[in-house]
Structure 1
Amino acid sequence: MKIDKRRIKNANESIILSIQTLVILVVLIGFLLGFMYLIFKVSYWFILLIIPLIWFTGYFANPERHTI
């Protein structure tokens, strides 16, 4: 059975891209929450409530990308 190297390369690139986007999202959300905490002195409970909200809205906005 011949292994298609292009397919493997594409899979690796997509994995790397998804990891990059995930890291960028985490960093951006971290900065956002940090600024919110500094400016508004928001309690940590409020921040902990916001994180799953962002997560779920991202999940429902594009469900075909998230295969569980």
Structure 2
Amino acid sequence: MFAVLNATRQLRATSVFLAELVETSVSSTKIKKITELSYFEYHGSDARVWKFHGIGDGDVIKDLKHTNATRDI
């Protein structure tokens, strides 16, 4: 492709890029009643969630990045 672009008259504002796509698996966690939660703290792959900021210890959701599960709070 680079040779073709340079073989004849040059095209202005033309760029050529070579890229390699790497496929990765994507996982997600669904949290039931997430709209009832208003405050989140993230610690690595875990999260601590509260319905109201600073009231109680909150609930911990573990391994957010490594599951396709639905979580109950």
Q: TM-score, normalised by structure 1?
A: 0.22
Q: Which has more helix, going by share of residues?
A: 1
Q: Select the structure that is richer in strand.
A: 2
Rg comparison, structure with higher value: 2
Higher RCO structure, 1 or 2 (CA under 8 Å, sep 6+): 2
Output the TM-score relative to the length of structure 2.
Answer: 0.21
